[in-house]
Amino acid sequence: MKLYPKIVIFVILTNVILWPNFALGEDTFNANYIISDEEMQNWDSMNRADIQAFLENYNSSLANLRVADKDDTTRLASDIIYRAAKEYTINPKYLLVKLQKEQSLITTTNPTQKQLDGATGYGITDGCGWSCDTYLNNKGFGKQVDSAAGIIRWYYDNVNIQPWIKKPNQTNIIDGQAISAQNYATAFLYTYTPHIEGNKNFWTLWNRWFGQVYPDGTLVKNSSGSEVFLIQNGKKRLITSMSVLASRFDPRLIVKAPMSELNNYQDGVTISFPNYSILKQGTKYYLLDYDTLRPFANYDVVKNIGYNPDEIVEVTASDVSSFNIGSTITAETEALDATGKLLRAKENNKLYYLKDNIFNPITDEKMAHINFPKLSEEKISIAELQKYQVGDLLKFKDGTIVGIVGSNKIYVIEKGKKRHIASEEVFNGFGYSWDNIIWTDELTGTNHPTGQPIYLPSRLAVAISKNENTTEVEEETNQQNNSDSTIEENSLMLTISEDETIYTGKKFNTNLNTYLVADYDTQEILAGKNIDVIRPLASFTKVMTAYRLMSEGLALDRSSTYDPTKHKSVYHIFRISAGEKILNSDLLKAMLVSSLNTPAKILVDSVEKNENTFIARMNQQAKDWGLSKTTFTDVYGYDLGNVSNAREYLTIYTKSEKNKTIREYLGKKSYEYNELLDKDGLPHHYDYHSNELMNKTGLNFNIISSKTGYLDEAGAGLTMLIERKSDHKKFIIITMGNPDYNNRFSEPEKLADWTIVNF
């Protein structure tokens, strides 16, 4: 690594393209905090291919530039940027922004030699400009990139040695304003460029390119509320109801994000009407085709297509003002022509999408189901098809997660391009589900040009971590610590209407979508509601995991070592650092009492290195117990493929908790332990049971054991083995599909009270 002992404070010339449509307004610029140290030093945020794709995405002349590097070896510009980032452990994004900020090299079509020679502005000062020795000694694209990365690393290495390097929490007067940098990265940016406006330009470019991270087509749910938004054209569009969402999107594709991240997006037009609604404004009728309104020639056309007058939505002029107006639907327009047709040719069995007299060939049939889930196929001859104009090969719609068979890369589709999701950490960080990956063929993949890779900014990773780890951080103040998500209102839960509800035995009036009451000793079901409805199991899954662990000889007196590359789960709400050792007995408590996900993966790894093999044994166990409606797809319940119904879960719970250890742990009101090997200086853990009733005084019954569960699609769930105090008769209470998360223990308590009185 180079050292820079003779460096003085540089006043760098700036040459910047401004972005007037940038979503983060100028008033959000904080001169004291520009980017984090984590972002500045995240050297592997982009690999060579990612950098090259970035340059190609902006049609940059640098994409094809081959030039001498610092050692006079000719290399691609992307390779030079990557090598400098790796050598000095500085983020390549920083270098890309510097190249644009100083010489507009990302967007300039035909850069001059002067622009390339002073690519990052290194050594060009107000005092001597382009004639400075510091510039002349570092002239040329390769040396400029190397020096721009090297000087930042040198700042980090020498900040406590060289007094002139600006430091955090040190006030400096810059452009007549007192600036107190809140971290090293910000202080170093002012050391390199001692001007507020220049660093504001840096911040603007950084956030323009790397600040708004969710691709168009992403469905994002506020992790602390019930709102769901569509990210489109860099804005967030509120979706007003579940019915509106379901008419356009697959709810399984929703990811969660803290509202602090969503606030980075301007508000777009609200999505208020189900797709393909008929809207009436005054005397005009329209078919809503996503964001386009197609006028009907007259009301007779509406009637001929077959719409019921009760289905027509009255709207105002302002309601329709934000939509594009499409082509008119006339009496000659067939009903399905308005929404498009999915056609299969009789002769070659190929699929095509026909709309507005243009047909698009479909290279992968999975695309038809993803893009047009509500369209049924029609047969057509090739001769009939040739009456229409041929269009381009169809592409996956925005937000689709795809993999290409034969490749290990995963992409998200945006505006017809495939954006590489840089790593598994990025994939999980965004909240994507592996079950939602659509595996397509090479032809279809090639038809989607490669766009800019998708990254996980440090600020989002931190925000998600804070959101997920709130309970773990509050562990020391006796707050609940569990993996069952916290939201105020659930709009995604599977709900059975009252008309379709089936009751068993005595009826208990409740908003619980499913409940079951059984005699513990005889297993007789005494009362129930929708007990055969199949639901996601959520953290109820952990009970079967515990049963199999104990059946396979889990050694509770031995320890396991945490390896984040193998054990970190989705919703990793567990304060543990790489290399820390914890007794298996304590991990089992964390899994069953706190309902934490990561301990399940650690424990399973201790008895079976292949997690899929362990899951297969969970499924075989269910079959051995005669359970035909139960399936397991992971070991902690996050995946929606973990399903069962109340009737079968009664068997799972009662058979599992008969194990002495499992019953003991499910019945613990609290626990505490110390790590055997501590790495982060925080060895002590303790927590209360995730079922708040376990620690509630004055109950009319005793709770012997209990397990909680929650997913948006499952609703809140609670299973309890309770005992009547007067005669010690035991009952199993199972509740599923509880829509009221904030009061999720209220109805189960009432059901338990009702049970001990009525049976």
Q: What is the pLDDT of residue 407?
A: 80
| % pLDDT > 90, the chain | 54
Position 73 confidence tier, pLDDT thresholds 50, 70, 90: very high
Q: Residue 200: how many CA atoms within 13 Å on its side-chain side?
A: 17
pLDDT, one tens digit per residue, over 382-410 is 999 999 999 999 999 999 999 998 887 88
pTM of this prediction exceeds 0.75: no
Between 563 and 486, the more confident residue is 563
Report which secondary-structure segment, H or E, holds 56.
helix 48-57
Mean of pLDDT values over 195-221? 86
Position 464 confidence tier, pLDDT thresholds 50, 70, 90: low
Mean of pLDDT values over 490-515? 86
Residues 6+ apart with CB under 8 A from 743: none
Which residue, 718, 662, 728, is CA-closest to 690?
718
CATH 3.40.710.10 domain locations along the chain: 471-476+492-758
**pLDDT reading at 482 higher than 90:** no
Q: What is the pLDDT of residue 487?
A: 32
Q: Say if CB 129 and CB 13 are below 8 A apart.
A: yes
pLDDT, one tens digit per residue, over 708-732 is 999 888 989 999 999 999 999 999 9
Q: What is the pLDDT of residue 333?
A: 65
**pLDDT reading at 553 higher than 90:** yes
Residue-averaged pLDDT of the chain: 85
Q: What is the pLDDT of residue 473?
A: 30
Position 479 confidence tier, pLDDT thresholds 50, 70, 90: very low
Q: Residue 537: how many CA atoms within 13 Å on its side-chain side?
A: 31
Q: Exposure pattern of 678-702 as b/e (b: 16+ CB <10 Å)?
A: beeeeeebebbbbbebbeeeeeebe
Q: What is the pLDDT of residue 647?
A: 97
pLDDT, one tens digit per residue, over 16-36 is 222 223 333 334 688 998 888
Q: What is the pLDDT of residue 352?
A: 95
Report which secondary-structure segment, H or E, holds 519.
strand 514-519
**CATH of region 471-476+492-758:** 3.40.710.10
Q: Say if CB 448 and CB 413 are below 8 A apart.
A: yes
**pLDDT reading at 471 higher than 60:** no
Q: For residue 748, give the 3-state DSSP assignment.
A: helix
Q: Show the tokens assigned to 754.
A: 């009702």
pLDDT, one tens digit per residue, over 291-347 is 889 898 888 888 877 666 667 888 888 888 888 898 888 877 654 466 788 999 999
For residue 498, count CB atoms less than 10 angstroms from its CB and return exposed for 0-12, middle for 13-18, buried for 19 or more. Answer: exposed
Quick one: CA torsion of 274, 277, 282, 284, rounded to 10 degrees? Answer: 140
Residue 584 to residues 411, 483, 599, Cα–Cα distance (Å)? 37, 19, 9
**pLDDT reading at 470 higher than 60:** no
Q: Is the sign of the CA dihedral 194, 195, 198, 201 positive or negative?
A: positive
At residue 180, φ and ψ (nearest 5 deg) are -120, 95
Residue 419 pairs in a beta bridge with 412
**CATH of region 278-336:** 3.30.2390.20
Looking at 179-188, 336-345, 492-501, 735-744, which range is the least confident one?
336-345
Listed ranges 16-25, 242-251, 527-536; the one with the highest mean pLDDT: 527-536
| Owner of token pair 């009525």 | 758
Residues 6+ apart with CB under 8 A from 28: none
Residues 6+ apart with CB under 8 A from 25: none
CATH 3.30.2390.20 domain locations along the chain: 278-336
At residue 433, φ and ψ (nearest 5 deg) are -105, 135
Position 463 confidence tier, pLDDT thresholds 50, 70, 90: low
Q: Say if CB 228 and CB 254 are below 8 A apart.
A: yes
Between 705 and 428, the more confident residue is 705
